[in-house]
Amino acid sequence: MSLECLILFRGMNTEEELINGCLRNDRFSQEALYNKYASRMFGVCLRYAPDRDIAHDLFQEGFIKVFQSLRQFKGQAALSSWMHRVFVTTAINYIQRKLKLQFEVSINEKELSMADDISEEEKDHWLNHISTNEALEMVQKLPEKYRLIINLYAIEKLKHDEISKLLNITESASRSQLSRARKLLSEMLQLTMKQKLGE
């Protein structure tokens, strides 16, 4: 953050002043807003993107949309929450547009819904022995449609009926994709732990 921006940001008493500065296209206010939320929003992008390059694309597109849509912010929620929704929507649209996801209901849902070979207790134990970066890498390795579902369900805490409306798929498809995503993550977790244990 530049010295001028830092002075301006510290001189602002409220988030509203920062927003009003951005609405006036004040460069220092825009830089202050960017620097205040950049790290958090890039974290959102990393969860949805398969790699850092696409995460950077989402990040840039997300901030463009934030500045373009800032007049729509009504203050009914925290600015960070509103921005979070903008970035999640940007990520979903990007994935659907660029990667042309096609959600299909598996003809073998019974197989997909079977319990994993690894118990929840053992999984929790293993999860305590991997780093945040390792967990993020596992999610990034998922095929796009599974990564999208796991983020919406596990991170954004959306229910299957909400996901189905958001992505224009059936609830059954949402459940199937989530089941498959969990299975793939479980397989990656087992492989990671075997490598750590030298097996």
Which tens digits make up the pLDDT trace of 12-47?
A: 447 888 899 999 999 999 999 999 999 999 999 999
Long-range CB contacts (within 8 A, 24+) of 46-53: 46/136, 46/140, 47/136, 47/139, 47/147, 47/151, 47/155, 48/88, 48/91, 48/92, 48/94, 48/95, 48/147, 48/148, 48/151, 49/91, 49/140, 50/140, 50/141, 50/144, 50/147, 51/140
Which structural domains are found in the chain, ordered by start?
A: 3-98 (1.10.1740.10), 109-197 (1.10.10.10)
Can you give the pLDDT at residue 98? 63
Q: How confident is the model at residue 128 (pLDDT cuts 50, 70, 90)?
A: low
Can you give the pLDDT at residue 121? 56
For 64-118, the pLDDT digits (tens) are 999 999 999 988 889 999 999 999 999 988 877 765 544 433 333 333 333 344 4
pTM, rounded to two decimals:
0.69
Most confident range, picked from 31-35, 119-123, 144-148: 31-35
Q: Give me the mean pLDDT over the 154-175 stretch.
A: 91
Can you give the pLDDT at residue 8? 47
